[in-house]
Structure 1
Amino acid sequence: MGLTAEFRLQSPRLPLIDVASAVPDLTFRLESTDQPQSGPVVFFIRVTGSSFDGVDAALTDSPSVKEHVRISEIGSIRIYQVVLTGPRPEYLDKRMFYKTFPESITIASDGWYIKQQLADRNELLAYQEFWQTRGFSFRLDRLYDSHSTDTELIGISEKQREALLTAYEAGYFAVPQQTSLDNVATALKISRSALAERLHRAQAHLIEHFYYTDLY
């Protein structure tokens, strides 16, 4: 069974995060990479936004960029070819041996947000270890079956899910509120404090889940 993972990589070694930080109103997507037989890595990036003020200056000033060329501009989208400085990082080659397929890579000021298909959970754990042993921070935001449109909310347990649904169906989240926390706790046969903790944790994960949707 294939899985789709949405995760964030963080490291000062990741190229173009300084560019994304300089022009935070723009969205940067890595479309593809190329590597000549000898020479630097070449990125093709899609930049989206209502105004491109500052993007060329940010690319010029970035220490990770040797040179850049605007390939096209159509409305709110620009395509750039970006030649990186320095030799090809070893991790770009070694990661190719993992059973994964990248769907999208968004470059932001706080890291790379990656949506990637993987063969199974063991492959996910191996891929996570691959990045962490090289000094990259790996944070998994979402994980779900690649063959389904339903998502598994990372961090929400069955008990937290049950608490959310029971509270919702009883009208705890309605305006005006139709039941109390004590009544929901009684229905679940748990203490009021245990219910409050489950709801708070579940709500926090829901906010994270839907907040990060736009980043992948």
Structure 2
Amino acid sequence: MGLVAEFRIHCDGLPLVTVAGAVPAVTLVLELQFNHGNRPLFLATVTGESQTAIENALADAVDVGEWTLIGQAGDTRRYQVFPALSFEEQLGDHIDDLAGLEALATAEATIERIEVEPDGWRQTGWFATREAFNTFASFWQRNATFRLHRLTRDGEPEPPGNGLTDRQHEALRTAYELGYFEIPRQASLNDIAAELDISASSVSERLRRAQTHLIQETVATTWPPLPN
């Protein structure tokens, strides 16, 4: 039985990290398209922010060549992104062992989700054996910063809300307990903020990020949008 791991790789040389840094309020999820020559294209699903802000960030990113908007549903947009840099140009200044990184592509593993953050990638992956996972983890521990968040055997049930941060869990739970999601609403963002001892804007951001994650893991899996 394989292993499922959720982890974070801190490396600001990874593709589209500068885009995530330019629009930090968005949720940016990547899929790699390996059937387009030597350099895989990216399929980027971006939720939040205006289209102008997102596309300005894409235009300013040195590792992005061209992009095409291929779908939109509400404030979620999907882009096909063409890389501007070679493998060596993208990561050569950040990772010494590029050959070792290329070798990871042949490991018995599948990266199922890549969420781009301002300082690296948060990933969920399947690994055939503990040895395959250890090889992957030890490479990133040597060449960047690797932080494991969860490691389970394939097939084990995941806890509700898997993938949310502790702060997002806390914000959602507090909002629910205070009646923020009731109709009519029984609590305001200020009420939740007072309970958590943070600002109302921080509460709003945590709730929006948590809700975005839950939507992506449930409703957004029906992409493309169903016809009206």
Where do 5+ consecutive residues of structure 1 fail to align?
152-210
1:4 & 1:37 partners in 2: Cα distance?
29
Report the counterpart of residue 200 of structure 1 in structure 2.
none
TM-score (norm 1): 0.63
CA contact (8 A) 1:41 1:87 kept: no
1:32 & 1:46 partners in 2: Cα distance?
12
Is the partner of 1:82 in helix, strand or coil?
strand
Residues 150, 65 of structure 1: alpha-carbon distance in 2 compared, 3 angstrom cutoff: closer
CA offsets 1:125-165 (integer angstroms, 9 cap, x no match):
111122334x22111111112111146xxxxxxxxxxxxxx
2:56 & 2:49 partners in 1: Cα distance?
17
Superposed CA RMSD: 2.4
Residues 148, 59 of structure 1: alpha-carbon distance in 2 compared, 3 angstrom cutoff: same
Counterpart selection for 1:121 from 117, 130, 137: 130
Aligned length: 153
TM-score (norm 2): 0.60
2:86 & 2:55 partners in 1: Cα distance?
23
How many percent identity over aligned positions? 33
CA contact (8 A) 2:12 2:118 kept: no
2:45 & 2:64 partners in 1: Cα distance?
16
Q: Which has the larger radius of gyration?
A: 1
CA offsets 1:84-140 (integer angstroms, 9 cap, x no match):
12223556642221111112110111210000011222221111122334x221111
CA contact (8 A) 1:72 1:80 kept: yes
CA offsets 1:61-106 (integer angstroms, 9 cap, x no match):
0111112111121222211111112223556642221111112110
1:84 & 1:30 partners in 2: Cα distance?
13
1:137 & 1:35 partners in 2: Cα distance?
29
Where do 5+ consecutive residues of structure 2 fail to align?
89-97, 160-209, 218-228
CA contact (8 A) 1:41 1:88 kept: no
> Which residue identity does 1:141 align to in structure 2?
H
> Which residue identity does 1:118 align to in structure 2?
F
User: What is the 5 A alignment of 1:1-216?
Assistant: 1-34=1-34, 36-37=36-37, 40-49=39-48, 51-89=50-88, 93-133=102-142, 135-150=143-158
1:71 & 1:132 partners in 2: Cα distance?
36
CA contact (8 A) 2:64 2:85 kept: no
Tell me the CA shift for residue 35 of structure 1.
5.3
